Amino acid sequence: MSEKPKLKSLLLVASKNPLPGNVKTRLSPPLTLEDSALLYSCFLQDLVERLLKLKNVKITVSYSEKNASDLQNLQKILPYKQLSFEKQNGESLGEKLKNCFEFYFSQGFEKIVVIG
């Protein structure tokens, strides 16, 4: 008999590697691509730090992978031991979300929220 997770609620933070030209591109101009990426990093750090204060919920960063270094970069930006990372699978946003929900419900989570 497989064991259910201790926490039954999951909060997924949908994210991307904050590289110039990969995030917040509509802010450029007036911002440079580098400044847009830095702003995204700050937003992501602030969001995760606030979420980690929540009790009785597992926090997972669900990231879109384009390069082999994406996970390592995100882990540098978000170096929290209680945080987990999971690569998104699928081509479209809808497919990625569907796959996330199916996977985590199959792991025993009862409540799942995605933000990002």
Q: What is the pLDDT of residues 21-60, one digit of tens each?
A: 888 888 889 989 999 999 999 999 999 999 999 999 999 9
pTM here is 0.83
pLDDT above 90 as % of the chain: 69
The predicted structure's pLDDT at residue 1: 47
Q: Taking 90 as the threshold, does the pLDDT of residue 5 lie above it? A: no
Q: Which residues contact 16 (CB under 8 A, 6 or more apart)?
A: 22, 23, 40, 63, 64, 66, 70
Annotate the chain with three-state secondary structure.
CCCCCCCCEEEEEEEECCCCCCCCHHHCCCCCHHHHHHHHHHHHHHHHHHHCCCCCCEEEEEEECCCCCHHHHHHHHCCCCCCEEEECCCCCHHHHHHHHHHHHHHCCCCEEEEEC
Q: Name the percent of the chain lying above pLDDT 70.
A: 96
